[in-house]
Amino acid sequence: DFVAQRQHLSKRDGSRDEIEISEDGSVKEVFEAPRNIAFLLYGAVYQGIGQEFIYNHLYSTWFGDGTGPAVVATKVAFDLLLQTTLVTLPVAYLTKATIFRYPLTEGLSRYIE
């Protein structure tokens, strides 16, 4: 996200969301530290630790250790249709809500929109 923010700021169009005017009237770039913290926490805790446990432990228990087409197709279908939509993305929005200090219900409503 740091790289994405830097690229976005370098291509800014001057809108108020992307710049900040200091007291002396000069324009300075705005770097959103909370946004980066949210991505780091989500990446480390859920994407790193959580999904390692889900993919390497729970999936093996639920669907078996095999690598045949049927087992792989089942794991991929479960991941795409259920886990991503019901767990992965909501956790991302809840993490962002926590970091930016708005209610968790608002985080979920932003996901649903």
Placement of tokens 């700021």 in the chain: 9
Residue range 35-77, pLDDT digits in tens: 788 788 888 888 889 999 999 999 999 999 999 999 999 999 9
Residue 103 pLDDT class (50, 70, 90 cuts): very high
Q: Length of the chain, please? A: 113
> What is the structure's pLDDT at 79?
95
- Does residue 9 or residue 37 have the better pLDDT? 37
Q: What is the mean pLDDT of the chain?
A: 81
Placement of tokens 């989500």 in the chain: 42
Strands (E), 1-113: 19-21, 27-29
> What is the structure's pLDDT at 16?
47
Phi then psi dihedrals of residue 26, to 5 deg: -80, 155
Contacts 24+ apart (CB under 8 A), 7-13: none
Rounded distance between C-alpha atoms, residue 52 and residue 50, angstroms: 5
> What is the structure's pLDDT at 86?
93
